[in-house]
Amino acid sequence: MASRPLKKRKVADEGRIFKQEWTIQYIFIEEKGKPICLICNQSVNLMKVSNISRHYDTMHKDEFEELHDEARKPRLDKLMKALKRQLDSLFKPTIDKEKAMLSSYIVSQKNVEKCKPFSDGEFVKECLVACAMELCP
């Protein structure tokens, strides 16, 4: 009689959730389903208290050991704002799409007017100056 093979255990099926007390206790937040350390911005593989506490104990315990709950909150807010600012700067477009498109039209128009290759240094400089005037008025 053949028995069925055992179903392989998967981490996603365990239903682990981030607990808010880990934010104050271990200085971690949850970002896109992964726990991220606010101090060094490293993520921990599994959302388990043992993994999070191990990271905190080995990397940051000496620095934050003397700070207790109320003393940690201002530092925690500062670290959260720094991480949010960093993430926003990565995903926020710096140039408006319409301005970029308009500057490409300007370069195309200059190319049609002058019929010069982009290997000509003066022509490239002229195009860059025109783009800079459009993008950074």
What's the pLDDT tens digit per position in 64-89?
777 777 778 888 889 889 988 887 77
Indicate whether 30 and 69 sit together in one domain: yes
Query: Residue 117 sits in which domain range?
Result: 97-135
In a domain, 121, yes or no: yes
Indicate whether 61 and 121 sit together in one domain: no
Q: Which pTM was predicted?
A: 0.58
Average pLDDT in the 38-52 region? Answer: 89
In a domain, 7, yes or no: no
Indicate whether 37 and 56 sit together in one domain: yes
Indicate whether 110 and 69 sit together in one domain: no
Indicate whether 83 and 126 sit together in one domain: no
Indicate whether 110 and 83 sit together in one domain: no
How many domains does the chain fold into?
2
Indicate whether 72 and 21 sit together in one domain: yes
Indicate whether 122 and 73 sit together in one domain: no
Comparing 94-98, 107-111, 116-120, the range with the smallest average pLDDT is 94-98
Over its C-alpha atoms, the chain yields an Rg (Å, rounded) of 26
List helix spans (H) across the chain.
Answer: 21-26, 49-59, 61-64, 69-91, 97-114, 121-135
Rounded Cα gap, residues 137 and 133, in angstroms: 5
